[in-house]
């Protein structure tokens, strides 16, 4: 008799990527989300906001669930006195009847190794899941599991993550492990939806084509130790003022990324990405859109006047 659609989303979809962690196309500008070891490693205080609308225009066959949307706000900064950096972020990820919200705080310890930097990070916070039972339709109206299941219910759990990063001037590679405590959510049902451990392996390499143009090659491997996927891309930066490039997400989308730096010191950056869906088109709308706004300000611990460098800091 257990035919409530809640099982399909909370328990059956554990094998579908992005049902637990949100997906970001401009991950190369949002590395701190995937790995706490990135906190403070850019040498500036960085504030980032992202709004993502996935499968724009998608409507369910019933109910008001709608297409997935995600909002992120993050900030991190170096603190030399503690030989590291700190940061925090909040994420709101809406997946139809299911809404995930998390608030996380990170600390990273920085180690200088010759001309490179090694960073070790830890993250702790809360991960909340909320279910709107009014958006589900049971195949069996007499299912006893439906008794009293109306409106919205929320459950809050602690969440832990760790990460490591190796960074040089021209390249970086990092590994992040999230949901280490594998928190569970049951909403009063006999089965549980467990946050599975995830691993993120990110990397990037910069190549100076000439004085005005730089090329960045980027990659992100994502796995919940059951299913693995990857993103690959390349971006070209012109005079550290504007950028554009292409990316590919395994078995899902071809991607266009564009961006521009504003203000005299190029401290305000605006980015946009367009995902064109190439797989499972019948179950999705053809495009996803993502807007990124990032602002960087220098960290001044000496009290002296700061002269900003125009060098691109991503």
Give pLDDT, residue 253: 92
Question: Confidence class of residue 234 from pLDDT cuts 50, 70 and 90?
Answer: very high
Task: Decide which of 65 and 126 is more confident.
Answer: 126
Is 311 inside any structural domain? no
Question: Confidence class of residue 67 from pLDDT cuts 50, 70 and 90?
Answer: confident
Averaged pLDDT for residues 141-147: 64
Is 308 inside any structural domain? no
Is 241 inside any structural domain? yes
Is 304 inside any structural domain? no
Averaged pLDDT for residues 70-94: 96
Say whether pLDDT at 259 is over 80: yes
Say whether pLDDT at 118 is over 90: yes
Give pLDDT, residue 232: 97
Question: Going by C-beta distance under 8 Å and a sequence separation of 6 or more, which residues neighbour residue 242?
Answer: 258, 259, 260, 261
Is 263 inside any structural domain? yes
DSSP code of residue 10: H
Q: How far apart are CA 85 and CA 119, in angstroms?
A: 9
Nearest 5°: phi and psi at 84?
A: -170, -150
Tell me the CATH number at 16. 2.40.160.40
Percent of the chain with pLDDT over 70: 80
Is 26 inside any structural domain? yes
For 271, the domain range is 5-298
Give Cα separations from 10 to 3, 48, 89, 307 (angstroms): 13, 30, 24, 51
Give pLDDT, residue 56: 77
Question: Going by C-beta distance under 8 Å and a sequence separation of 6 or more, which residues neighbour residue 148?
Answer: none
Question: Confidence class of residue 150 from pLDDT cuts 50, 70 and 90?
Answer: confident
Give Cα separations from 173 to 6, 35, 166, 167, 235 (angstroms): 38, 11, 6, 7, 17
Note the pTM of the prediction, 2 decimals: 0.86
Total tally of structural domains belonging to the chain: 1
- Three-state SS annotation for 163-189: EEEEECCCEEEEEEEECCCCCEECCCC
Say whether pLDDT at 34 is over 60: yes
Is 51 inside any structural domain? yes
Residue 39 burial (CB count, 10 A):
32
Q: What is the DSSP string of 113-174?
A: ETTEEEEEEEEEEEEEEEEEGGG---S-TT-GGGTT--SEEEEEEEEEEEEEEEE-SSEEEE
Give pLDDT, residue 11: 35
Give pLDDT, residue 135: 74
Q: How far apart are CA 200 and CA 47, in angstroms?
A: 22
Task: Decide which of 132 and 310 is more confident.
Answer: 132
Question: Confidence class of residue 60 from pLDDT cuts 50, 70 and 90?
Answer: low
Q: How far apart are CA 306 and CA 298, in angstroms?
A: 7
Contact by Cβ (8 Å): 231, 252: no
Residue 267 burial (CB count, 10 A):
18
pLDDT digits (tens, 9 = 90+) for 153-176: 889 999 999 999 999 999 999 999
Give pLDDT, residue 193: 79
Task: Decide which of 151 and 110 is more confident.
Answer: 110
Is 306 inside any structural domain? no
Q: How far apart are CA 66 and CA 132, in angstroms?
A: 13
Question: Confidence class of residue 18 from pLDDT cuts 50, 70 and 90?
Answer: very low
Averaged pLDDT for residues 34-39: 98
Burial zone of 157 (CB within 10 Å; 0-12 exposed, 13-18 middle, 19+ buried): middle
Give pLDDT, residue 95: 85
């Amino acid at each position: 008799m257990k035919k409530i659609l809640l099982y399909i989303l909370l328990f059956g979809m554990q094998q579908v990527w992005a049902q637990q962690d949100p997906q970001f196309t401009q991950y190369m500008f949002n590395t701190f989300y995937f790995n706490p070891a990135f906190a403070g490693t850019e040498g500036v205080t960085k504030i980032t906001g992202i709004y993502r609308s996935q499968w724009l225009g998608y409507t369910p066959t019933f109910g008001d669930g709608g297409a997935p949307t995600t909002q992120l706000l993050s900030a991190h900064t170096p603190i030399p006195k503690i030989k590291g950096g700190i940061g925090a972020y909040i994420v709101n990820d809406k997946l139809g009847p299911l809404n995930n919200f998390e608030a996380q705080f990170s600390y990273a310890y920085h180690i200088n190794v010759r001309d490179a930097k090694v960073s070790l990070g830890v993250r702790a916070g809360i991960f909340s899941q909320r279910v709107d039972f009014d958006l589900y339709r049971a195949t069996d109206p007499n299912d006893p599991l439906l008794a009293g299941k109306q409106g919205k219910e929320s459950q809050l759990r602690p969440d832990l993550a760790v990460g490591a990063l190796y960074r040089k001037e021209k390249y970086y590679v990092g590994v992040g492990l999230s949901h280490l405590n594998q928190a569970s959510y049951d909403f009063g049902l006999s089965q549980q939806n467990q946050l599975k451990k995830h691993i993120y392996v990110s990397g990037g390499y910069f190549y100076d084509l000439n004085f005005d143009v730089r090329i960045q090659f980027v990659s992100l491997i994502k796995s919940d130790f059951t299913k693995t996927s990857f993103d690959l891309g390349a971006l070209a930066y012109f005079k550290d003022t504007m950028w554009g490039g292409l990316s590919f997400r395994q078995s899902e989308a071809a991607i266009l990324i564009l961006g521009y730096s504003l203000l005299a010191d190029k401290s305000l950056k605006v980015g946009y990405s367009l995902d064109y869906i190439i797989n499972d088109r019948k179950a999705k709308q053809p495009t996803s859109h993502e807007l990124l706004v990032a602002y960087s300000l220098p960290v001044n611990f000496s009290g002296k006047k700061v002269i900003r460098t125009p060098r691109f800091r991503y």
